[in-house]
Amino acid sequence: MADYLTTPRLLGGWHPDKGGKGELSQHKTVADADLVYRKADGSLTYRWNLLDLRLTRFVKMGYTNLTLVLDQIPYCLAERPHLEKYGQATPPSDMREWYVFIRDLCRELERRYGTKAANGFRFRLGTELGSGKRIALSQGQLHEMYGLTHKAIKGVLPDAKLGPWNEAGFKNNQEQAPLNVLGLAQYAKANDLAFDFASVSSYSIPKLRGDSVANSSPEQKADSDARYFRALREVFPGLSAEYHEFGILNSQYNIVTSEPGARGGAYRAHYLLSMLEHHSIDRLYHWDVFERIGEDKHHGPIMLLRSNGWLYSILEQAAEGKLYVLKGNAHDGNTLYKSALITSPKKSFLIVSAFTVDRRKQSEEEITITLPAAIVENGPPRNGAVEYVALTPKREIYQAIKSVLAKANILKPEFAKHNDLVAKVKLMTTDYTKARKMVKDNYAIYLEQMEKSLTLTSFDSRMKIDKNTFSLTYPITSDSVYVFVW
């Protein structure tokens, strides 16, 4: 499901407390993980061997259209290094050294992977820089750094792409951002610099405010993102609009969860269909589609399918079709519906999501979706020919696992309090060792349930067909995704 990869913190500049059991544990000091270091005589030299683990293994897997992220700054380039949450945040003291470093990096990429492959790489300057906390630059210094980065890359790899960081908190108030993507785009346009793509980080962080819930609606978030991309496309028409980080961070109860169950599927389906409706998504980078619990000799890896994996596995099957995002059904303001038809000469998919802004107010409605027959490339279905799959709270494996944890008295109280709330197994349990064993012992049941959730079954509700239209009527439960296929 991953066509493209990004490589954050490729250069080094890591935070000493963020290494865990990964590569950082192999180095004596955090600066030893930097691609560049300074010799005793003051000159710069390189540790290109570190690219073996950080980059070469992905190239060997067949990924050539990689986005190399130039974000945390190596320690030796900063006269007075200082740390922020994710690493070293002082900019290069001498921007000419930054230029030489990036130029030499590009030369090494060409030497290692060949001219064609290296020219296919893309470069992103920074990660979520808008707040000014990730790197201590002024807007003017940012322009200088971007210009020198362009010069260093294009002087070696003329066909490589370049773009700015993934904006997070200042998408629609760029004038208030300490570091401004729109201003950088205008500078790049005026100075004939590459500006090939724009990207965002988008996370759901809903908040309870009295009787209402803020920051929950995928429709509102998609509209906000679309406005951001439209503003940048006014400067660079045809700019690639991308999501470099996308997900859910917590529930409205302020409990950490990525929503691996049906609610997460409904949120993601609504969001993605809205962005496609706005023509404002060219790439979507996603987090893990499985939760890995461990492995055993019978099944090999013990993997739990998360809601994003369920959704993407269906969209993969429909990738070659034409998309029509349909006008939404009437709703009460809390349950949001989104539907789309993906059609090809061989098969059509009708996707319907129902998402509640306030999860405490669930609903079930019988809805009717009417399609103009002319847009369905493989024609209206015969009676009895429609099949469907659904991800609903009753069908998701995480609710089944939650029930088992509760019976074993190892479910955390906050998850016991909210019946509809699920999260990764590690987050739901008070005893992860025991929980992992229980998942492994019951894995045959969960595996069958995952397979069943993606197995088409007969559509047993009403369907009406006439010369110009056909319609399907079906009861839709909220915080669910339904996919009808014929």
DSSP-derived letter for residue 56 is I
CA dihedral 12, 17, 23, 27 (to 10 degrees): 80
* DSSP track, 434-484: HHHHHHHHTHHHHHHHHHHHTS-EE--SEEEE-SSEEEEEEEEESSEEEEE
- Same-domain status, 346 and 242: no
DSSP state of 53: I
Q: Report residue 333's pLDDT band, with 50, 70 and 90 as the boundaries.
A: confident
- Which of 249, 270, 298 is where one domain is finished? 249
Q: Which two tokens stand for residue 353?
A: 């999501």
Structure-model confidence comparison of residues 467 and 39, the more confident one: 39
Task: Round to whole Å and give the CA distance between 254 and 257.
Answer: 9
The length of the chain is: 486
pLDDT of residue 20: 63
Query: Has residue 276 been placed in a domain?
Result: no
Q: The sheet that has 462-465: what strands, in order across it?
A: 364-372, 469-477, 462-465
Looking at the fold, whether 244 and 296 belong to one and the same domain comes out as no
* Same-domain status, 189 and 101: yes
- Where residue 417 falls (left for φ over 0; alpha for ψ -120 to 50; beta otherwise) is alpha
Residue 26 structural domain:
6-249
Residues 347 and 449 in one domain: yes
Scored b (16 or more CB within 10 A) or e, 300-309 reads eebbbbbbbb
Given 217, 249, 281, the domain boundary residue is 249
Residues 11-39: pLDDT tens digits?
999 999 886 668 888 899 999 999 999 99
What number is the average pLDDT over the span 390-417?
96
Same domain (yes/no): 38, 90: yes
Non-local (6+) Cβ contacts of 410 within 8 A are 429, 430, 431, 434, 435
List of E strands, 131-186: 161-164, 166-167
Per-residue pLDDT of 206-239, as tens digits, reads 999 988 999 999 999 999 999 999 999 999 999 9
Q: Does position 332 have pLDDT exceeding 70, yes or no?
A: no
Q: Do 336 and 472 belong to one domain?
A: yes
Indicate whether 457 belongs to any domain.
Answer: yes
pLDDT at 468: 86
Q: What's this model's pTM, rounded to 2 decimal places?
A: 0.94
Same domain, 240 and 293: no
Instruction: Show the tokens assigned to 31.
Output: 């600066």
pLDDT grade for 463, boundaries at 50, 70 and 90: confident
Q: Percentage of the chain with pLDDT > 70? A: 98
Tally of domains in the chain: 2
Cα–Cα distance, 14 to 3 (Å, whole number)? 27
Identify the CA nearest to 391 among candidates 354, 344, 445.
354
Which of the listed residues 249, 267, 300 is the one where a domain comes to its end?
Answer: 249
How many whole angstroms separate alpha carbon 28 and alpha carbon 36? 16
Work out the mean pLDDT of the chain and round it to a whole number: 94
- Asked if pLDDT for residue 261 goes beyond 90, the answer is yes
pLDDT of residue 3: 82
* Per-residue confidence (pLDDT) for residue 16, from 0 to 100: 92
CATH number of 217's domain: 3.20.20.80
- Whether the pLDDT of residue 330 is over 60: the answer is no
**Residue 1: pLDDT over 70:** no
Alpha helices in 278-372 (DSSP H): 307-317
Mean pLDDT of 289-302: 92
Euclidean distance between CA atoms 458 and 188, whole angstroms: 55
- CA separation for the pair 346, 36 (Å, rounded): 53
Give the residue among 238, 226, 228 at the shortest CA–CA distance from 189.
238
pLDDT in tens, 38-62: 999 999 999 999 999 999 999 999 9
Determine the 3-state secondary structure of 351 from DSSP. strand
Residue-wise pLDDT tens digits, 335-388 = 999 999 999 999 999 999 999 999 999 999 999 999 998 899 988 887 778 999
